[in-house]
Structure 1
Amino acid sequence: MNASAATASSTETVLLRREAIPGGTVGVVTLNRPAKLNAWTHDMRTRLVEVFAELGADEDCRAVVITGAGRAFCAGQDLSETAAIDQSDHAAAEAWIDGFDVLYRAVRDIDKPTIAAINGVAAGSGFQFALLTDLRVGHAGVRMGQPEVRSGIPSITGIWAMWDILGKAKTIEFTLTAELVDGVEAQRLGLLTQLVDEDAVLDGAIALAAKLAELPPGAVQLTKARLREIDDAALTDAVEAAKKVHAAAYASGEPQREMDRFLSKRR
């Protein structure tokens, strides 16, 4: 099923449906702000956390697939929201990072396989979020990367999210050049698990989820718990560093100026 066709009539920013599979269901979560490339706001992230908690507690749900409506997976933060942070409001900048900490931990804490169906652009925090899923399915035309510095936003949690997949050299390249890579290169680098035809991304992700759902759930849960344990301290450190760095960045006024310049061009 095409995600954009399934969500076109809805005004909700996060949609949830359950796909029946042998022995249970796959929870299919759709980010649904297609006109904004599914860039998220505070309210959208809050709803997503609630959906993940619901699926995590659902015994019939054996795996979770996350995708985006329209032509993007998620373009990251909606800049019209963060551009309004005042230079003197350090608490607002820190609260913004805390919100992403909650979101990132919510998807990491699901004790079931999670798969991102990357149907288009995955950039900034949307790119980071995709890397926190267990596996990722995409097509050759997707664009993935970390363009945050172009908006005057330092990439701090992004470094943590990329480091174990890309290593130091490529992480530096992604954060400082702000360039996006296509699906073929993304698969070569390990950012995508599977590369399929554009019209098969969501179905491919659901099929992969169904396959993983056949695994003994206890073993999956314990394995995922250990995987989280390995880099949990690094995430905590990244979040604390991000709060300090972003507070300093916003105090300088540079992110606000760059975001306003970007938004002015779009207007």
Structure 2
Amino acid sequence: MPGSITVTRYPVTAGESEAYVLEVTLNRPDKLNAWTASMRSELVAALDAAGDDNQCRAVVLTGAGRAFCAGQDLAETAAIDPDDHAAAEEWINDFGQLFRAVRGLDKPVIAAVNGVAAGSGFQFALLADLRVGHAGVRMGQPEVLSGIPSITGIWAMRGILGRAKTTEFALTGRLVHGEEALRLGLLTRLVDEDRVKEEARAEAARLAQLPPGALALTKGRLRELDDAGLDEAIDAAKKVHAAAYATGEPQREMARFLSSRHR
């Protein structure tokens, strides 16, 4: 799906070097920026290119329209054959590649959470180093409501929320608004809705002026703290999702959800 993301460069002052902040925008506003495999592939390519470019000193992640990312496009995953275990595993591998592309960046990553961030879109926001949002955002892990087990979501949430709140989010599927998200640490900063992207870019520009070597080494150590946890979560998700899809329950629940939306 070409054009499902857009990238914009913003020149910044970084010593005597020419530098820029890269803003990556998920661009399916009519679908609340819910992603497909091809969209994630575009995103990984853009993030890898940013990581390889020394002039890129920070990255802003955001969404077009009124959402950050509503997670997986259910129209795609509802079609997975219950007997096709490889398809479920490939889907998880796809997310593993995306998550590692974000985490592998040695430069600061700021999420401008402009609207709903749900499911894997919520997890994606949590991978950012800092998250700027507004009071009206909704954030959470509603996958269980569509018959999808929350596995990588548990890993993404637990470091911020702790076990008790992670359990609540994973089992209830509830979404929280911006003020509660700030209190829980899901957001770093709360600003007016019309200033979310502006403030995220400003924070990225501030971080772009810091010594890049120190930032890279600090981020490297932060990664080391839970890299093994991500690897374990991806492996577990392959097994759990293959078992879940083999029952047909996720496909039935997603088909029911999609049907209700078209009534």
TM tier relative to shorter chain: over 0.9
Offset of 1:95 from its aligned partner? 0.4
Offset of 1:149 from its aligned partner? 0.3
User: Which of 17, 40, 43 is the aligned partner of 2:8?
Assistant: 17
Structure 2: stretches of 5+ with no match in the other structure: none
Partners of 1:20 and 1:184 lie apart in 2 by: 32
User: Which of 242, 245, 251 is the aligned partner of 1:250?
Assistant: 245
Residue number in structure 2 paired with 1:238:
233
Partners of 2:126 and 2:181 lie apart in 1 by: 11
Residue number in structure 2 paired with 1:187:
182
Partners of 1:95 and 1:229 lie apart in 2 by: 25
1:149 aligns with 2:144: yes
Offset of 1:64 from its aligned partner? 0.2
Task: State the secondary structure of the residue aligned to 2:117.
Answer: strand
Instruction: Name the aligned partner's letter for residue 186 of structure 2.
Output: L
Task: State the secondary structure of the residue aligned to 2:10.
Answer: strand
User: Which of 172, 176, 200 is the aligned partner of 1:177?
Assistant: 172
Higher mean C-alpha deviation, range 51-60 or range 108-117: 51-60
Map 1:1-267 to 2 at 5 A. 12-23=3-14, 24-267=19-262
Offset of 1:60 from its aligned partner? 1.2
Offset of 1:21 from its aligned partner? 1.2
Partners of 1:217 and 1:150 lie apart in 2 by: 42
Offset of 1:255 from its aligned partner? 0.1
Aligned-pair Cα RMSD in Å: 0.6
TM-score (norm 1): 0.95
Task: State the secondary structure of the residue aligned to 2:111.
Answer: strand
Identity over aligned pairs, percent? 70
Instruction: Name the aligned partner's letter for residue 226 of structure 2.
Output: D
Task: State the secondary structure of the residue aligned to 2:239.
Answer: helix
Instruction: Name the aligned partner's letter for residue 248 of structure 1.
Output: A
Partners of 1:58 and 1:241 lie apart in 2 by: 33
